[in-house]
Copies of this chain bind each other. A is one copy, B any other.
Amino acid sequence: MNDLNEKIARILERVRQKRPLLHHITNFVVMNDTANVTLHVGALPVMAHAKEEVADMVSMAGALVLNPGTLTPQWVDSMIIAGRKANRLGIPIVLDPVGAGATPLRTESNLRLLEELEIAIVRGNSGEIGALTGLGGVVKGVESVVEVEDPIAVAKALAQKYELVVAITGARDIISDGERVMAVDNGHPMLKTITGTGCMATTMIAAFAAVEEDYLLAATGGLVSFGLAAEIAALQAKGPGSFKVALFDALYNLTAEQVVAGAKVCYLDK
């Protein structure tokens, strides 16, 4: 386990050395926050959605984040264009299926992205991932209001179906590549009091995936780092406003030593 902590700390250091560009095609609600999270973890953000430029933009990226949280069919088309170019260039795509299960448009658009692109990692809450697998969970708006019964089985099933890594985030995060399963117990309940923390976690995963080819480890490392920063932030927070400020400070100041000492991560299946 300590070996895992060390590995994650080294990935965080690589993010800061390489400063990969994270091309986001994401929702309007979180654009500012996820651009800031990208900078704070040590990477470079760009938000670009015009079909005329997404293929050019993604070509210089270390990872592509697709987040249809305020989707229209036109934006999904741009995601497909960017995604195809990313696939040709071997650039990992991280999908955040915001609100899958809430409306047919959201469920179908996310399934279209999974079908037409080679996604590296999907991160969602329990209801969203449940909706994509058809194995339970209920989403109200963008919130998981009924959890899937067996998150490990659900994560494995979706991972196997599309040959990718699935991360279900919640009180305990479950990450699987279809065979191996990891659990992360970092994080804090205050994360649920502000909008966009799921999207921020996805950005963290993308930063790690840009510099680490084992996407199971990348997803896990991003979630550990984000969860640790949340734990540090919660110590100073008087409410969600000051929590968000402290979260951004903590992300920026997060050290490899803190990761080694604080990561709560283990294999459930190896």
Assess whether A267 is interfacial by the CB under 8 Å rule.
no
User: Chain B's nearest CB lies how many Å from the CB of A60?
Assistant: 6
A53-B103 contact, Cβ under 8 Å, with A31-B29, A242-B245:
yes
A194-B39 contact, Cβ under 8 Å, with A239-B252, A240-B249:
yes
CB < 8 Å: which of B70, B239, B250 contacts A250? Answer: B239
Task: Number of A interface residues at 8 Å Cβ cutoff, please give it.
Answer: 62
Q: How many copies does the complex hold?
A: 3
A70-B47 contact, Cβ under 8 Å, with A141-B21, A245-B245:
yes
Assess whether A106 is interfacial by the CB under 8 Å rule.
yes
Report whether A106 and B53 are in contact in the complex, using a CB–CB cutoff of 8 Å. yes
Residues of chain A whose beta carbon lies under 8 Å from any beta carbon of chain B: 21, 23, 27-33, 35-36, 38-40, 44-50, 52-53, 56-57, 60-61, 69-73, 99, 102-106, 140-143, 192-196, 238-242, 244-253
Task: Tell me which residues across on chain B come within 8 A of A44, comparing CB atoms.
Answer: 140-141, 143
Report whether B40 and A29 are in contact in the complex, using a CB–CB cutoff of 8 Å. no
**Among A99, A102, A240, A241: residue with most chain B CB under 10 A:** A241
